[in-house]
Structure 1
């Protein structure tokens, strides 16, 4: 596939990922009026932000990963975009916690197609020294999306009246209208994704669909290594998910900031520092690999998690909202440096024809533990241990360092085993370490 078209496909994937995180994260800023209107507790809010997504991914993510490895990936992704967009609009019609929870489960159903489809496509479009950069650019999507969700959500809430009357739908609250507006945008994106040409699958045996025996054989040999990389990235993601879910509440409860100011302050920092950290993770990992450090991507992960631990206290214990936001940017950048190192590290030790399933496993673990458990752990410490909503900063200081510490320990353990799996991939012509050659040496048509 020509280089220009590969870049075009990457742009479409990035924009789809941005939209996925707008639809997913918009609830973070809307949580304050939603809580008041629906009488929700902190635990219920955490379930809407986390477990509602993890619930479907735990059940259906793996079959979708298998579907990605066996069917036209762009069609699978287009269907997923359409599904999550319709369920996002359905959130705007919910008038109770159970209805809203079910709609959020539906959003997770659609978004389960995003990660395995995109990483499988990127693996066929970009190779060697360009892989980390391509994945870094793709991984900017969540932070741009989450930042836009906060910025746009804050602006819409600020300018919309508390109550809006719409034809057929009747009287709706402002936060419901925000969800409804996102639905048509997503359907247009689904149509765009459906027009993308499917790239030829590359790598040994790429023309035949992998069977379960091959999947089991891979995991018998490399399963522990893949799990270590997955879990290390997951605990870093758990820390960021928890911070993103509860920092708006901290700024509102402790520093008495308004939703518009929170959205603007957090949004731009997520976009700039989050996207920058994700991109830098790919660039630094590529650089260290080219210089012969086999575990270079894991080293970047460890450095990012360690730096995040040092920045937590000044960010969470700042005397005012402006001080907290000043520290938030570097903190987000370091967290995303750790998170963004996991996908390319995992990509390197996975045969291309199994990457859909592999990244579905990664998404399942990251969503179930990171998004599903992370915000709820913080809520449980706040509600059940500290028993005081105003001590949310202490709750975050007790939980986030433990999550980042787990990331560091698991990445250190993975460093000892990573070279073995990487060498095994090279011996089967799936990947060539260090020198920046094509990850699919058997593919003569790899032009990027």
Structure 2
């Protein structure tokens, strides 16, 4: 068994690892979210509806992201995590570039499936790397800094999209060697894919830390992983589905917020990209780091369920801030939107950190993959489409998108509050289960006297 008292990497080395993983996460979210600002030109070129567009944004990506995630999580628990991430980055970048060559809707669907499968390699391995690079009282902050990639990536996607859309209005289509004439939205995907492939070289700077904590170095059969998860099922269900509801609200809203600004407030795509993209980068990054710092501060005071409590607080504040979609005054709208993005971001660093605190080391990647399976399938897979379906079939009015976002986000956030509240006690019990499991493992490996 790996020595659980092994020293953690130096602070410099640990934060270098986080910085590189953050850049990878930023790239993944740019690739994932760039579609949200390109609804207009892609719909026009492919001749599709809001609902079909939402399937590109969410379900086509999410299904294979989640299916690939669980076996890749098991790989992360036993093989080189750096190598796994490098393979994932290369593959999703190749598929992103392929999106730039899509000529028909079904081409786009297939390539988005490839992007999802590739991105599934990143987070389970990244969470495991960070858990072995930082002691428990610093993990929520480290994972929250990594998770800033969600908002830096989404914000940069909006900014990049806004700049390109503005440029495209002045320049039109672009002639490229070998590829011929391409539309501006296609050019974005080609550039992003090339950038990701080159980034693979940067991953060589990551040094694998030794595996630490309860169960480090123990080869656990798949059936035992399932049995352990069943033993803490109440905590797992409340955690995974509670945070999945927040993800549903977040992805559902953010997929259509650019369209909300364009349809309901008359902004141009370029203006939305610059203004909203900048807000997402600042408010989202501040919110997610604040959530991690708050959870670590509470943990140092002895609150063992601090990660869950921060998630619950974020859900309550987000529910209050959802009023932003009904506001017409633009100054007030931007102020509330800042706090809305801040509170929405708070839980997405503490949620994966909470998983690390209730799982043996040799099961962390798999448990993280299951968490991502639930959160992504429900959040990204259903969220954007739920809003689109309400707009298309309930209100039957493109300009009612503001009400669709408000009602979908508010109802599902209320569900999150209930689940996270009910999960507090089972989560504490799960921590006790982990300690008991560790004691049994020590007894099994202790030499006979």
Partner of 1:171: helix, strand, or coil? strand
User: Equivalent residues in 2 for 1:87-126 (5 A)?
Assistant: 87-126=95-134
User: What residue in structure 2 maps to residue 60 of structure 1?
Assistant: 68
Give ranges in structure 1 of 5+ residues lacking alignment: 431-440, 442-448
Deviation at residue 323 of structure 1 after TM alignment: 4.2
Tell whether the 8 Å contact from 1:251 to 1:321 is kept in structure 2 after alignment. no
User: Equivalent residues in 2 for 1:241-252 (5 A)?
Assistant: 241-252=251-262
Cα separation, 2, equivalents of 1:415 and 1:334: 20
Given the alignment, which residue of 299, 323, 326 partners 1:289? 299
Given the alignment, which residue of 80, 85, 99 partners 2:88? 80
User: What residue in structure 2 maps to residue 417 of structure 1?
Assistant: 426
User: What residue in structure 1 maps to residue 264 of structure 2?
Assistant: 254
Deviates more, 1:206-215 or 1:395-404: 206-215
CA pair 294-208 structure 1, distance change in 2 beyond 3 A: closer
Cα separation, 2, equivalents of 1:173 and 1:322: 35
Partner of 1:341: helix, strand, or coil? helix
Cα separation, 2, equivalents of 1:367 and 1:128: 26
User: Equivalent residues in 2 for 1:186-197 (5 A)?
Assistant: 186-197=196-207
User: What residue in structure 1 maps to residue 15 of structure 2?
Assistant: 7
Cα shift readout 1:210-252 (whole Å, capped 9, x = no counterpart): 2113202211211231121111111111111111100111111
Given the alignment, which residue of 210, 216, 226 partners 2:226? 216
Tell whether the 8 Å contact from 2:355 to 2:364 is kept in structure 1 after alignment. no
Tell whether the 8 Å contact from 1:277 to 1:340 is kept in structure 2 after alignment. no
Given the alignment, which residue of 141, 144, 149 partners 1:133? 141
Given the alignment, which residue of 31, 34, 37 partners 1:26? 34
Cα shift readout 1:136-159 (whole Å, capped 9, x = no counterpart): 111111101110111122112212
1:370 lines up with 2:379 in the alignment: yes
User: What residue in structure 1 maps to residue 388 of structure 2?
Assistant: 379
User: What residue in structure 2 maps to residue 171 of structure 1?
Assistant: 181
User: What residue in structure 2 maps to residue 434 of structure 1?
Assistant: none
User: What residue in structure 2 maps to residue 237 of structure 1?
Assistant: 247
Deviation at residue 133 of structure 1 after TM alignment: 1.0
Deviation at residue 59 of structure 1 after TM alignment: 2.5
Cα separation, 2, equivalents of 1:278 and 1:230: 18
Cα separation, 2, equivalents of 1:156 and 1:392: 25
Partner of 2:48: helix, strand, or coil? coil
User: What residue in structure 1 maps to residue 288 of structure 2?
Assistant: 278
User: Equivalent residues in 2 for 1:45-56 (5 A)?
Assistant: 45-56=53-64
Cα shift readout 1:156-201 (whole Å, capped 9, x = no counterpart): 2212322111111111111100111111210121122144222211
Deviation at residue 2 of structure 1 after TM alignment: 2.6
Deviation at residue 425 of structure 1 after TM alignment: 2.2
User: What residue in structure 1 maps to residue 318 of structure 2?
Assistant: 308
Deviation at residue 17 of structure 1 after TM alignment: 0.5
Cα shift readout 1:412-438 (whole Å, capped 9, x = no counterpart): 1101211111122234559xxxxxxxx
Give ranges in structure 2 of 5+ residues lacking alignment: 1-8, 443-449
- Supply the RMSD in Å over aligned alpha carbons: 1.6
Partner of 1:350: helix, strand, or coil? coil
Given the alignment, which residue of 350, 368, 382 partners 2:359? 350
Cα separation, 2, equivalents of 1:345 and 1:327: 29
Cα separation, 1, equivalents of 2:263 and 2:330: 11
Cα separation, 2, equivalents of 1:302 and 1:208: 34
TM-score of the aligned structures, taking structure 2 as reference length: 0.92
